[in-house]
Amino acid sequence: MATSCSYSMPFPVSCSIKRKPLISDSFGYLRVTLASAFTPILRGLHQAHLQFDVSKTIRYTTVKLLDAFVDSVYEFSDHPLLPSQSNLAPVDELGEAMLVTSLIGKIPDDFSQGIYIRNGPNPLFGGLKSTKSIFGRSSHIWVEGEGMLHALYFKKESDGSWTVVYNNRHVETETYKLEKQRNKPSFLPAIEGDSPAILLAYLLNLLRFGKVNKYISNTNVFEHSGKYYSVAENHIPQEIDILTLKTLRNWDVSGAWNRPFTSHPKRAPGTGELVIMGTDATKPFLEVGIVSADGKKLVHKVDLKLNRGSLCHDLGVTERYTVIIDFPLTIDINRLLKGGPLIKYDKEGYARIGIMPRYGDADSVQWFQVEPNCTFHIINSFEDADEVVLWGCRALDSLIPGTDLGVNIFKCFSHCYEWRLNMKTGDVKERNLTGTEFSMDFPVINGNFTGLKNKYGYTQVVNSTVSSSSGIPNFGGLAKLYFEEQHMEFPSGNKPHKELIKVEYHMFEKNVFCTGSTFVSKEKGVDEDDGWILTFVHNENTSISQVYIIDTKMFSSEPVATISLPRRVPYGFHGAFMPISL
């Protein structure tokens, strides 16, 4: 007995799935069947929105039949959370802003009025989902989940006192609205799992929703030309009302950008232009763009003509160049069709860094081969005589899509690293900037020095013991990096480590972890490090979430202010401070 299906579409789709091989778990047979049926579709999944050439009635009926199929065949379940992952559980929206009344210490008089905002996953309907069906298993990975903004508003009153208000709100992407309206899990996870299950998840999501996966918008928040955006790199950004956290609209740069958008756009030094990029699973794999300083126009766009879908999470800028990292963490639909993982870190694959003149094209990129590695975050990049210098947080393996028993998780934790790329000779010099005692990631600097030579940087410090059991990074402290000062410890003999830089630490109590750290400059600061680090922290012993304000001139001292929040804030990703008069 066979089940057959066909849909009235602008391309033919038909499948015949025999029960016997499914019951006997013959996934090789199923993979070949699905691959031959879906290959023409999958090759175009990430192109422009597909238009169904059917009447509304037929489309509605088809979606209903497909929904019934999903409901009868697929079993959704929540990812189980380990004790060390309890603060990954989602929270509800507040509905309205709440006055913060619990504060230890004092908000400095010269602190800036504004908004400290952090993005992060807050999955709908209980948590990240896995599905089980006759086609196999598919699941979300730990970086997925609908985005939720958490914001702290700092207002200085006429008498010099401070009013602090907290609010949270989901980023209401198109797919958030679709699933929220249905009031149940509807999109099938399509990242990790058995290849037949992922392939069919792609197809069923496409046929029911016109999209292959959810737009999560959970990674970062940035400002350009007085407007504010939430972003994750599987879709274009969403403009938000920074005062209410309401989602306003998608931002496609006046219709000129219709592909994924980096979570880490960079403002070019001197011009105010915004340098962006978008990576994809099909050609063109990576495009770079430049948005005008007023945010109204895409003034440059170029396909770098990569031959693989490299998951570039960050980019760098200097005064004249754009810096591209093409490292061997890849997304590959053809690999999936052959039964392999959709996302994979290839330890034997090539790694290279590209330096492109700001308005260059693919032929103008100068590529430098470097040691294979996985780097998600750039600390800074700048020009130094004939060299372009790149600082980043470098690991030897990847935490995405996730770790398994065959992976040494300590290789997935990153350390601060330097590449010096000589534009005249083509030579590359690489070195560790910090020792191996602590792993570090999620770097920030004084934003006035983006693309320029800087003296200081700040990172979150990985608690390796807790992280090795949870499988994701738990940050148990902060570090201040002194790029122009030497590490002065003497582990052997009487000579300092000439290759290592000075690092100062601000470590938290046991079972206290942070996310979303950012640097806030003093309004009348003179030095590059005149300012504060703000970070969301969570105490897993008390389940209390707070915000610390740490004076970067007294980095290892107690926070100058500790603000207890009225609600728990789950762990998330990147934070930002928006100086605004409230």
Binding residues for Fe cation: 264, 313, 377, 574
Tell me phi and psi for residue 91, to 5 degrees.
-125, 165
- CA 152, distance to chain mean position in Å, is 21
End-to-end CA gap in the chain: 68
Radius of gyration (C-alpha) of the chain in whole angstroms: 24
Helix (H) or strand (E) holding 534: strand 531-539
Which residues line the annotated binding site? 264, 313, 377, 574
| Whether 306 contacts 365, CB under 8 Å | no
CA 16 to CA 40: how far, in whole Å?
A: 17
CA distance 298 to 290: 6
Q: Any idea what DSSP says for residue 449?
A: G
Instruction: Give the number of residues written for the chain.
Output: 582
Angle, CA of 59, 60 and 64, to the nearest 5°? 115
Q: How far apart are CA 305 and CA 321, in angstroms?
A: 18
Tokens coding 103: 């504060």
- Quote the CA–CA distance of 370 and 275 in Å, as a whole number: 24
Using alpha carbons, select from 374, 431, 377 the residue that is nearest to residue 400: 374
Helix, strand, or coil here: 479? strand
Both structure tokens of 364: 């103008």
